Chains A and B, each alone.
Chain A
Amino acid sequence: MPKTIEEINEKIRKGNAVVVNAEEIIGIAKEKGIKKTAQEVDVVTTGTFGPMCSSGAFINIGHSNPRIKLGGGRVYLDDVQTYAALAAADLFIGANALPDDDPRNRIYPGEFNFGGGHVIEKLVDGKDIRLTATAYGTDCYPRKKLETWINIKDVNEAVLFNPRNAYQNYNVAVNLSNKIIYTYMGILKPNMGNANYSTSGQLSPLFNDPYYKTIGIGIKVFLGGGIGFVAWQGTQHNPAAPRTERGVPTRGAGTLALIGDMKQMSSDWLIGTSMLGYGCTLTVGVGIPIPVLSEEMLEYTTVTDADILAPVIDYSSAYPHMETEILAEVSYAQLKSGWIVIRGKQIPTASLSSYSRAIKISNILKEWIQNGKFLLTQPVEALPGIDSGIKPKPLKERPIVE
């Protein structure tokens, strides 16, 4: 039985690879059994579509005449701050960047209607963006001011680079206090008035390959409607998180750093997002194919929402103060039913991640593979696994004594 990626690619090229999404595989494997399904199915596609704060874009705008050195100057795109501390014509805009005159939370809760994520959405949508820059001027880069429209089709490069996406599992947020709070997990009503979660569960990439056996550095993925790559493990990658018997982490665990050419991406899958009282971010679409190399790999992809447990955390006190207290563990099947029960209280649930769009992503990826447009890739290097010893650490503050 064991297949290789090259064998699967050969089938893809001939147009006879069997590709299903991570929801469909559950029923197929139940009906036909693991052994037979592993022989028949070649690829399982996954998808996720939710706010992913650690996202941003590198842009090279091309050199003006006379030249200007943006690096070390100040540059804004549609009044939103960018990071201009690279070479003369390179910029980075992060999803959380804001205009200088945005009131933030001075008018509480801040609305955060327009920020870096929205600039990225406008760019990929092909809209003109207003660039305003000031620089200090040098002998070789004399210009000190630049104001111009830029457009994604004219810039040299527009590269999405997200240091942390596709979190393998995440917290369920509730509020134990007696006043409403505004968080990156949405509006949380007092006294556990609601519970918010953010994952595509059984469809999510890293839940379908919990030990990172096929998802590794260098592989090709669906990113923002175009083709991207896994660049590295994501920041805060935590392979050592506790896991269930079948390997499913029960806390935030693995993460991915993703990179891709924004010129082929679409604003259907990169959407500027506003979290009331928290800030701006970017909703990102990610899809990853899992090659069914063995019965073991197939078994991983049959994970269901009932198998995945998530920790319920109080965001009014435990989360901000780094306390590890978990109020309960609930399954995604429970969360998706619309209600969970914590401490005897029935609490309505809501998702920040769109399951219906995640299904769409997995189906687009399926089509790409079925049409021979997208071949599978072998990782260049594995992501740090459970034996790597990697574990994110809290900041150990050392007071500065002058």
Chain B
Amino acid sequence: MIVSKKIVLHFPGRLVERPIVYHLIKDYDLEFNIMKASIIPDEEGLMVIELRGNQVNYDKGIKFLKDTGVRIQSLGQNVLRNESRCTHCGACITVCPTRAFKLDTETRLISFDDTKCIACGLCLKACPLRAMELHF
């Protein structure tokens, strides 16, 4: 079975200079698509990737990353909606490139599907109430 998941990798400072992601391709036959990558000098590296491959290899690859010391989060956990600030106006709906926000035409409430979210951050600034928060 083929799986495809969007995940966030946190590389501790000591691992930043090692070619870890390379092993995912070479040793575990996994495909990946980098959506975001950043390195803060002397601190940590962060990479948002979509990882794809068969389930057995995927699980082995994830285990390899964890054993190496990489901290893994699923992407949806990083973008949160502060429910106490959201007024369900809808300003986020059309700026989101993956249509993660959906209007319920009956209740007029906006739902946020974090599995569709790619953590691009556009909604953070587009939200007039600043209800969207990014926690990497």
Q: Which residues of A contact B (CB under 8 A)?
A: 49-51, 109, 111, 113, 186-187, 189, 193-196, 271, 273-276, 281, 283, 336-338, 348-357, 359
Contact = CB atoms under 8 A, between A and B. Distances in A.
B109 interface: yes
18 contacts: A51-B128, A186-B128, A194-B94, A276-B126, A337-B105, A338-B93, A350-B91, A350-B93, A350-B95, A351-B89, A351-B90, A352-B90, A353-B89, A354-B108, A356-B88, A356-B108, A357-B87, A359-B108
A181 to B, nearest CB: 13
Given A113-B130, A271-B129, A356-B107, A348 B94 contact: yes
A186 B129 contact: no
Contacts of B88: 354-357
Contacts of A194: 94-95
Interface in B90-136: 90-95, 103, 105, 107-109, 125-126, 128-130
A281 B125 CA distance: 15
Contacts, number: 72
A393 to B, nearest CB: 30
Classify chain B: how many residues form its interface, as a range. 20 to 34
A4 B91 CA distance: 42
Contacts of A111: 125
A273 B128 contact: yes
A274 B129 CA distance: 6
Kindly list the 3 A-B residue pairs having the minimum CB-CB distance in the complex, ordered from nearest: A194-B94, A355-B108, A354-B87
Given A196-B94, A352-B91, A356-B88, A336 B130 contact: no
A271 B105 contact: no
Contacts of A351: 89-91
Contacts of B109: 356
A275 B94 contact: no
A352 B127 CA distance: 9
Contacts of B126: 186-187, 276
Contacts of A113: 130
A283 B87 contact: yes
A271 B87 contact: yes
A355 B103 CA distance: 11
Contacts of B95: 187, 189, 194, 350
A50 B89 contact: yes
Contacts of B107: 356
B88 to A, nearest CB: 5
Contacts of B129: 271, 273-274, 283
A298 B30 CA distance: 66
Nearest to B89: A354
Contacts of B89: 50, 351-354
B53 to A, nearest CB: 34
B128 A283 contact: yes
Contacts of A356: 88, 107-109
A273 B126 CA distance: 11
B128 A352 contact: yes
Given A194-B95, A355-B108, A275 B90 contact: no
B68 to A, nearest CB: 37
Contacts of A276: 125-126
Nearest to A347: B94
